[in-house]
Structure 1
């Protein structure tokens, strides 16, 4: 893990707290988290934590994006999920008391708040509202994992790629030029949907030629949501 110099941040004035599991804490409970957390900036490509390491707390994403991934026996990366502003990561290992089953890697410069396990568990014990928010977040994680597993079983590569681009648009939005607010390399997209980089390059090029999308290096703009939605449906 890379330990970065802390930057100033406050839970009390944090604009992303209302998106997180800490949104319903009382002022006193917020002060407990605020007094114990450590703010860190991770540069693109740096690890928040590594697979098989033991957790000492979890991370709240203040800004930026992080990929959660595992390495297969052949050394190939498999991207499980992308987390962003308002999300937390590392909490599963805290509850299971097992090592992290994935690595967390910044895919762009990412500001985080690290909350030690003890402070997190104290808040859980004292706040029924936060407990419910954590259960809701864990349930959402399970639903996301089950949906992805279902997509792998029911959809072919072209359908999964179209569905992924649409989900990126819904989750992260677009910039002023209407390109997706997430920059993934072709290899990372392939690792996310479980196919080869060559297949991703070919499909994106086909859709670019058909004006369904527009490509600009790592940037992707969706020109026709309707056509991508049609492609994403299982045949």
Structure 2
């Protein structure tokens, strides 16, 4: 299990501009938990216990419809906060968080965070900014689902993933921990459409595929496809 340090905590988006004293306090308050692949971090409608930070691994946020079908709302990036929307109004988690890789997650329990905010209002401002970004991303996703066809949604998703991926020369190596069915759920289409579209991109030499990775070879052409 990783040992949290002040340097690790400073990389978390909520505490990126915190002062040294705050970082020291938060480092002591955070509790590290290890979750094997496929574990529930929290469940939809479960009483909220705190906010979570992905230290390493991968987590998906999902919501189920009336028929029980799972819909992926977003993927959590390392060093990002999730479960934060319940902080200001309490209540239950509005969605489910599931690990899709073995993951280490730091938890800041509600009482501890509320006490810290009383002495450091900058944390509250940071949370408001993060929630604002979440709302903007949700609006963008609604617009994509309404206005983009399924191929363009997949193109846009790959472009978005590439922004935080490793570059080697002209190629971008995108780690993908989702199955093709999960990718389909994320963009509101079928697995067959995802499989067919990825094959078309591969045949056009826009991407290459390897186990657990999409290698983006031609970003300019993919961006052109996304705008058509």
TM-score when scaled to structure 1?
Answer: 0.88
Residue 141 of structure 1 and its aligned partner are, at CA, apart by: 0.8
Deviations 1:23-58 (A, max 9, x none): 233333333323322101222211111111111111
Gaps of 5+ in 1: 1-6
Mapping of residues 136-147 of structure 1, within 5 Å: 136-147=129-140
Q: Is the counterpart of residue 56 in structure 1 residue 53 in structure 2?
A: no
Residue 79 of structure 1 and its aligned partner are, at CA, apart by: 0.9
CA distance in structure 2 between the aligned counterparts of 1:35 and 1:188, rounded to whole angstroms: 36
CA distance in structure 2 between the aligned counterparts of 1:200 and 1:163, rounded to whole angstroms: 13
CA distance in structure 2 between the aligned counterparts of 1:175 and 1:50, rounded to whole angstroms: 38
Deviations 1:78-130 (A, max 9, x none): 11111122211111022232311111111222211111101111122211222
Residue 139 of structure 1 and its aligned partner are, at CA, apart by: 0.9
For the 8 Å contact 1:11–1:30, the answer to whether it is kept is no
CA distance in structure 1 between the aligned counterparts of 2:141 and 2:7, rounded to whole angstroms: 35
| Count of residue pairs brought into register by the alignment | 227
CA RMSD of aligned residues (A): 2.0
CA distance in structure 2 between the aligned counterparts of 1:198 and 1:98, rounded to whole angstroms: 39
Query: Alpha carbons of 1:218 and 1:28: their partners in 2 closer, same or farther (altered >3 Å)?
Result: closer
Partner of 2:86: 93
Partner of 1:169: 162
TM-score when scaled to structure 2?
Answer: 0.91
Moved over 6 A (4+): none
3-state DSSP of counterpart to 1:33: helix
3-state DSSP of counterpart to 1:191: helix
Residue 22 of structure 1 and its aligned partner are, at CA, apart by: 1.6
Partner of 1:194: 188
Partner of 1:205: 199
Query: Alpha carbons of 1:8 and 1:18: their partners in 2 closer, same or farther (altered >3 Å)?
Result: closer
For the 8 Å contact 1:22–1:130, the answer to whether it is kept is yes
Mapping of residues 100-115 of structure 1, within 5 Å: 100-115=93-108
Partner of 1:41: 34
